[in-house]
């Protein structure tokens, strides 16, 4: 099993998500808040960022990283995302890479994301969700 997570409702209608290790994020449907659908996209982008970090830093230097933009195609009839488009942009303008070195970096980043991104692997597969509802009374 992964890390235990939970969410709790706030009096203002927003929600807080917590992790057993102290992680915290606020979300909801209000202005300036990430929705659960947004968090799905953030999870995909964040996973690609962490998966590609080694390859980017190895080539461009410590502290360098990719900008990853994710958009999703939403099917309102089924209330589900039916696909995601992910753009990984690496600014290597200051590195003076040759075309060959840029192509190698692109291949390494792609390979690292394809191998190490759990979120991408999960989204590509049909992932069952088991739910149990408990009413305390």
43 and 18 within one domain: no
50 and 3 within one domain: no
109 and 44 within one domain: yes
Domain assignment of residue 131, yes or no: no
Burial level of 41, CB count in 10 A (0-12/13-18/19+)? Answer: buried
Domain assignment of residue 130, yes or no: no
**Would you write out the chain's pLDDT as a tens digit for each of its 137 residues?**
678 999 999 999 999 999 999 999 999 999 999 999 999 999 999 999 999 999 999 999 999 999 999 999 999 999 999 999 999 999 999 999 999 999 999 999 999 999 999 999 999 998 899 999 999 99
State the pLDDT at residue 112.
97
**pTM for this entry:** 0.90
Number of structural domains (the chain) is 2
50 and 29 within one domain: no
Q: What is the CATH number of the domain that holds 56?
A: 3.30.300.20
* Tokens at 37, concatenated: 């659908």
C-alpha distances out from residue 101 to 67, 112, 127, Å = 19, 16, 37
Residues in the chain: 137
13 and 60 within one domain: no
Domain assignment of residue 102, yes or no: yes
Q: Domain range holding 90?
A: 35-124
State the pLDDT at residue 3.
86
18 and 80 within one domain: no
119 and 77 within one domain: yes
State the pLDDT at residue 2.
77
Q: What is the three-class DSSP state of 37?
A: helix
State the pLDDT at residue 29.
93
Element (H, E) at 91: none
C-alpha distances out from residue 124 to 13, 50, 72, 83, 117, Å = 32, 18, 13, 9, 11
24 and 47 within one domain: no
CA distance 64 to 49: 11
60 and 15 within one domain: no
């Amino acid at each position: 099993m992964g890390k235990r997570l939970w969410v709790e409702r706030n009096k203002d209608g927003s929600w807080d998500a917590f992790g057993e290790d102290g992680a915290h994020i606020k979300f909801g449907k209000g202005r300036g808040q990430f929705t659960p659908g947004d968090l799905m996209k953030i999870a995909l982008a964040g996973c690609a960022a962490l998966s590609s970090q080694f390859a980017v830093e190895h080539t461009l230097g410590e502290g360098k990283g990719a900008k990853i933009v994710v958009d999703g195609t939403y099917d309102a009839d089924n209330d589900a995302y039916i696909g995601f488009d992910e753009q990984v942009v690496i600014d290597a303008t200051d590195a003076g890479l040759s075309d060959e070195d840029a192509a190698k970096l692109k291949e390494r980043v792609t390979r690292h994301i394809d191998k190490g991104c759990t979120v991408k692997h999960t989204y590509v597969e049909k992932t069952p969700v088991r739910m149990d509802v408990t009413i305390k009374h």
